[in-house]
Amino acid sequence: MDTITKEPPHCPTCDCATGRTADLLWIGAFRYYLGRRTYAVSDFCAALIASWAALSSHLQRLIERELDEEIRRDTECRRQGLGAVLGDTCDRKEWERVFQHIQAAKQAGDAAIAQAQDA
């Protein structure tokens, strides 16, 4: 059997059993870039935003939860003078931009559901 089309085993990293290689690559890249101090954070965040609608709902929830936790942790660490979890200020702004996009996409989805229910 071709290894490309063979369904991968259960993923212990994100506890998904979807067998979707793309999900595994996205979560791996997300976790890799989270906290980095590099111009590539901006590039990754732009790609994540551009691809958001195409990501599985499981992956969207996972990224949203982890990003929310890291933004909160970064805020607390900065407040206490313990450093920056999300990288430099410019990196944090990129992650905040991603989180804002996630929230806007959720609101748009909720509005579409409500509109469909009213119809």
State the virtual CA torsion across 53, 55, 60, 64 in degrees, nearest 10. -70
Q: 97 burial class (0-12, 13-18, 19+ CB within 10 angstroms)?
A: middle
Give the confidence band of 110 by pLDDT, cuts at 50, 70, 90. Answer: low
Residue 26: which of 4, 47, 9, 3 has the closest Cα? Answer: 47
- Is 3 inside a domain boundary? no
And the tokens for 108? 């748009």
Q: Give tens-digit pLDDT for 42-77.
A: 999 999 999 999 999 999 999 999 999 999 999 999
φ/ψ bin of 88: left (φ > 0), alpha (ψ from -120 to 50), beta (otherwise): beta
Say what percent of the chain tops pLDDT 70: 75
Q: Find the domain containing 90 and state its range.
A: 21-118
Residue 10 included in any domain? no
Q: What band does 22 get if pLDDT is binned at 50, 70 and 90? A: confident
Residue 81 inside a domain? The answer is yes
Q: Is 1 domain-assigned?
A: no
Is the predicted pLDDT of residue 99 greater than 80, yes or no? yes
Q: Which amino acid is at 94?
A: E
